[in-house]
Amino acid sequence: MNEKYLNRIVANPSFQVDEIDSRLFGSFVEHMGRGVYGGIYEQDSKFSNQDGFRQDVLDLVKELGVTIVRYPGGNFLSGYDWKDGVGPKNLRPNRLDLAWHSMESNEFGLDEFMRWCEQSDVEPMMALNLGTGNLRDALEILEYTNNASESLWADLRAKNGKIRPYNVKVWCLGNEMDGPWQLGHKSALDYGKLAADVARGMRQVDKNLELVICGSSGRGMATFGTWEDEVLNIAYDLVDYISLHIYVEENDDLNSFLACSSELDKFIEEVVSIADSVKSRKRSNKKINLSVDEWNVWRLSEFQKKEAPKNWDKAPRLIEDEYTVADAVVVGNLLISLLRHADRVKMACMAQLVNVIAPIRTEKDSPAWRQTIFYPFSLTSKYGRGVVLDTKIQSATIFTEKFGYQNVIDGVVIYNKDLQEVVIFCVNRDACDNQNLEITLEGFPLEAIIEQATLSNTNVYLTNTVSNPLAVKPDFSITAEIEENRVYATLSPVSWQMFRVKVKIGDFHGH
């Protein structure tokens, strides 16, 4: 042990959390603002392919490492009729989108989304309208997407050009049904009954679907806790996952912001406790896992202060937040929190994908660019694969107004057996000072640091813009050192890092 190192991370291959589910690296596309129109789809753009999909966006989605995409909302979902978005485009109606006070042209719908998923190599996660929608609508869309044999809705799909079914596995039973802003918002009892009915019906079609019931749209909701308890009490045996949503923002308090992933840690652990208490009461052997299917940094209070739109515009600019270095460090930390809970968080979707609170931005005449938050996501998705090790942290603390004393260092250690490497993701939440870090990888004779990535900047508010898209990017210089089974590093203030360390093959015991 080196006495000069105040902060320590220790992991051991014998103590494992769980295998990481690749669906932890999901995203979210909602019909909202310029997320779809002008985002993933722009018919008359020089950057678009023959299907009207922005090819530059498709390329960045692949680089981002997105594995599953939730669609079509969001709040939009609760007033949406999927039938408006299929069939010949010239017959598709304009509809009022009450959630975002916009005009929905329906030019892009279910079949376009499925085609886009094929081209971007992602799995679709479909969300069902349980606001204005009902069991019949859910069964009809399921038949349209998944039924192979001749039947009314499968025939319509074939007529629309797709003979083979899409076989969508994951279905969300509504969106944020606990929120009073949600069209068709319900009490936990009413929603629980509807979700159970829909789940039961869907399972009559295919018992192997993976169903997500709505949990709370935020930890601050007055109904948080009782909502989860009630809906799971009704639908426990019929669903596989419960959702939770979290958006964070700085609110002029950088210290608290940098430590805000502690809120996600708590939220996850609380939802796990509630799900498991329902399990115990029911003497059930089934485990409900978590789908964090909306999470990100969002300057929500700024958005809420804005005047509501007066017109019904098509694809207006909505919440196109520009992300800073500090935001990227927080996003990296939220990913660390998701990985730490890999035993229970099996799906997660960063909200959203393009333009609307998104890692990818577009303008009509410029190539798409990466926001700061793109980098921790893409590197975590690329290298955060394998088994999460139980990561012990000993750290100096910082005081935060919102969360009291918090560790200045946070991190998680992953063992990737196939690549014979250990990957460490960590952050320095200190706004002013460097922090030393000693990482001990017990039982792993270390060979070399293969790669180090650091995201930081002396200006923590620097952003990437259309005119300067590469202002913020990771630095890949290797400054850390190894000695036996330890890594020594100095982390700059407000920084996110990744270390990939090669371990000696066959030399370490246990696994």
362 neighbors 39 (Cβ within 8 angstroms): yes
Question: Is 63 tagged catalytic?
Answer: no
Q: Is 178 in the site for ligand AHR (CB under 6 A)?
A: no
Strands 360-363 and 387-389: unpaired
Report, in Å, the least distance between residue 452 CB and ligand AHR.
33
Shortest distance in whole angstroms from residue 2 CB to ligand AHR: 45
- Among residues 20 and 351, whose Cβ is nearest to ligand AHR? 351
> CB of 168 within 8 A of CB of 148?
no
Residue 325 near residue 472 (C-beta atoms within 8 A): yes
Angstrom distance (rounded) from CA 384 to CA 389: 12
Task: Kindly tell me which of 271 and 422 has the beta carbon lying closer to ligand AHR.
Answer: 271
- Is residue 217 part of the contact set for ligand AHR (CB under 6 A)? yes
Nearer to ligand AHR by C-beta: 29 or 489? 29
Cα separation of the two ends of the chain: 25
Chain Cα centroid distance, residue 179: 20
CA atoms within 13 A on the CB side of 504: 11
Binding mask 51-90 for ligand AHR (x = CB under 6 A): ----------------------xxx---------------
Cα 454 off chain centre by: 22
Residue 371: φ, ψ to 5° = -80, 170
Task: Report d(CA 156, CA 300) in Å as an integer.
Answer: 41
Residue number with CB closer to ligand AHR (10 or 351): 351
Cα→Cα distances 510→85, 358, 417, 500, Å: 54, 41, 12, 20
Given the complex with ligand AHR, which of 165 and 184 has the nearer CB atom? Answer: 184
Q: Which two tokens stand for residue 429?
A: 């939440």
Q: How far apart are CA 369 and CA 467, in angstroms?
A: 10
Per-residue binder mask for ligand AHR (CB under 6 A), 270-299, x = binder: ------------------------x-----
Burial class (CB in 10 A: 0-12, 13-18, 19+), 103: middle
Using CB under 6 A, count the residues that bind ligand AHR: 10
Minimum gap (Å) between residue 298 Cβ and ligand AHR:
7
Question: Is residue 320 annotated as part of the catalytic site, yes or no?
Answer: no
Catalytic residue among 30, 210, 228, 294: 294
Cβ-based neighbour number of residue 203 at 10 Å: 15
C-beta of 22: minimal distance to ligand AHR in Å? 22
Q: Which is nearer to ligand AHR, 185 or 502 (CB)?
A: 185
Joined tokens for residue 484: 């036996």
Identify which of residues 356 and 472 has a Cβ nearer to ligand AHR in the complex. Answer: 356
Distance CA 112, CA 59 (A): 17
Instruction: Please state whether beta strands 68-71 and 409-416 pair in parallel, antiparallel, or not at all (unpaired).
Output: unpaired
Catalytic option among 30, 104, 143, 176: 176
CB of 262 to ligand AHR, least distance (A): 22
* CA–CA dist 480, 73 (Å, integer): 43
Encoded amino acid at 94, one letter: N
* Least spacing, CB of residue 72 vs ligand AHR, in Å: 10
Specify the residue, 179 or 474, whose C-beta has the smaller distance to ligand AHR: 179
Does residue 249 belong to the site contacting ligand AHR (CB under 6 A)?
no
Q: Which of 121, 116, 171, 173 is nearest to 146 (CA)?
A: 171
Query: Strand 345-351 vs strand 289-297: parallel, antiparallel, or unpaired?
Result: parallel
- Residue whose C-beta lies closest to ligand AHR: 74
Residues within window 100-119 making contact with ligand AHR, judged by CB under 6 A: none
Angle at 456 between CA 452 and CA 460, to 5 degrees: 170
Q: Which of 97, 104, 111, 176 binds ligand AHR (CB under 6 A)?
A: 176
Burial 357-374 (b: 16+ CB within 10 A, else e): bbbbbbeeeebbbbbbbb
Least separation in angstroms between residue 373's CB and ligand AHR is 14
**30 touches ligand AHR by CB under 6 A:** yes
Binding test (CB under 6 A) with ligand AHR, winner from 120, 175, 362, 456: 175
User: Residue 176 or 240: which CB sits closer to ligand AHR?
Assistant: 176
Using alpha carbons, list the distances in angstroms from residue 381 to 27, 49, 386, 419. Answer: 12, 26, 11, 15
39 binds ligand AHR (CB under 6 A): no
- Least Å from the CB of residue 94 to ligand AHR: 20
Residue 11: CB minimum distance to ligand AHR, A: 34
Question: 74 vs 85, which CB is nearer to ligand AHR?
Answer: 74
Quick one: tokens of 319? Answer: 């919440």
- Residue from 337, 352, 380, 428 touching ligand AHR (CB under 6 A): that is 352
Interface with ligand AHR includes 371 (CB under 6 A)?
Answer: no
Q: Kindly state the smallest distance separating residue 405's Cβ from ligand AHR, in Å.
A: 31
Applying CB under 6 A, which of residues 328, 329, 351, 353 lies at the interface with ligand AHR?
A: 351
Residues at the interface with ligand AHR (CB under 6 A): 30, 73-75, 175-176, 217, 294, 351-352
Q: Which residues are catalytic?
A: 176, 294
